[in-house]
Structure 1
Amino acid sequence: MKILMIEDNQSVAEMMGMFFQKESWDVVNAYDGEEGLNAFKADPDGFDIITLDLNLPTMDGMQVAKEIRAISETVPLIMLTARDSESDQVLGLELGADDYVTKPFSPMTLVARIKALHRRAEVTETVPAGAVPETTTEDDDFDVVTPHFQLSSKTREAILAGKPIEGLTPKEFDLLRTLAKSPKQVFSREQLLQLVWDYEYYGDERTVDAHIKKLRQKIEKVGPQVIQTVWGVGYKFDDSELDG
Structure 2
Amino acid sequence: MTKILVVDDEPAISTLLKYSLEQNGYQVIVATDGKSAYDLISEQSFDAVLLDLMLPIMDGMTVLKNVRQDKITTPVLLVTAKGDEFDRVFGLELGADDYITKPFSPREVVARLKAVLRRSQTDQVKSKKTDIIEIQNIVIDDDKKIVTRSGDTLTLTPREYELLLYFSQRVGRVIDRETILTAVWGYEFVGESRMVDMHISNLREKIENNPKSPQLLKTVRGFGYTLVN
TM-score by length of structure 2 reads: 0.54
Structure 1 CA distance for aligned equivalents of residues 67 and 119 of structure 2:
20
The aligned residue for residue 66 of structure 2 is 67
The aligned residue for residue 118 of structure 2 is 119
The aligned residue for residue 11 of structure 2 is 10
Change (3 A) 1:16 1:32: same
Tell me the amino acid that sits aligned with residue 13 of structure 1. Answer: S
1:97-112 paired onto structure 2 within 5 Å: 97-112=96-111
TM-superposed CA distance for 1:16, in Å, is 1.0
Secondary structure at 1:52 match in 2: strand
State yes or no: 1:92 paired with 2:91.
yes
Change (3 A) 1:5 1:72: farther
TM-superposed CA distance for 1:81, in Å, is 1.1
Secondary structure at 2:96 match in 1: coil
Tell me the amino acid that sits aligned with residue 118 of structure 1. Answer: L
Name segments (4+ residues, structure 1) moved above 6 Å.
none
TM-superposed CA distance for 1:18, in Å, is 1.1
1:69-218 paired onto structure 2 within 5 Å: 69-126=68-125, 136=131, 138=133
TM-score by length of structure 1 reads: 0.51
Structure with more contact order per residue of length (Cα contacts < 8 Å, sep ≥ 6): 1
TM-superposed CA distance for 1:84, in Å, is 1.5
Change (3 A) 1:9 1:137: same
CA offsets, 1:142-193, max 9 Å, x none?
xxxxxxxxxxxxxxxxxxxxxxxxxxxxxxxxxxxxxxxxxxxxxxxxxxxx
Gaps spanning 5+ residues in structure 2: where?
A: 136-229
Structure 2 CA distance for aligned equivalents of residues 60 and 118 of structure 1:
24
The aligned residue for residue 47 of structure 2 is 48
- Equivalent pairs counted in the alignment come to 135
Tell me the amino acid that sits aligned with residue 116 of structure 1. Answer: A
Secondary structure at 2:58 match in 1: coil
Change (3 A) 1:28 1:136: same
TM-superposed CA distance for 1:35, in Å, is 0.6
TM-superposed CA distance for 1:136, in Å, is 3.0
For the Cα contact (< 8 Å) 2:6–2:18, is it kept in 1?
no
Secondary structure at 2:30 match in 1: strand
TM-superposed CA distance for 1:102, in Å, is 0.6
Secondary structure at 1:40 match in 2: helix
The aligned residue for residue 176 of structure 2 is none
From the CA coordinates, give the structure whose radius of gyration is larger: 2
Secondary structure at 1:58 match in 2: coil
1:1-40 paired onto structure 2 within 5 Å: 1-40=2-41
Structure 2 CA distance for aligned equivalents of residues 59 and 86 of structure 1:
21
After superposition, the CA RMSD in angstroms is 2.5
What's the % identity of the aligned pairs? 39
Structure 2 CA distance for aligned equivalents of residues 139 and 69 of structure 1:
36
TM-superposed CA distance for 1:123, in Å, is 3.7
For the Cα contact (< 8 Å) 2:82–2:103, is it kept in 1?
no
Tell me the amino acid that sits aligned with residue 92 of structure 1. Answer: G
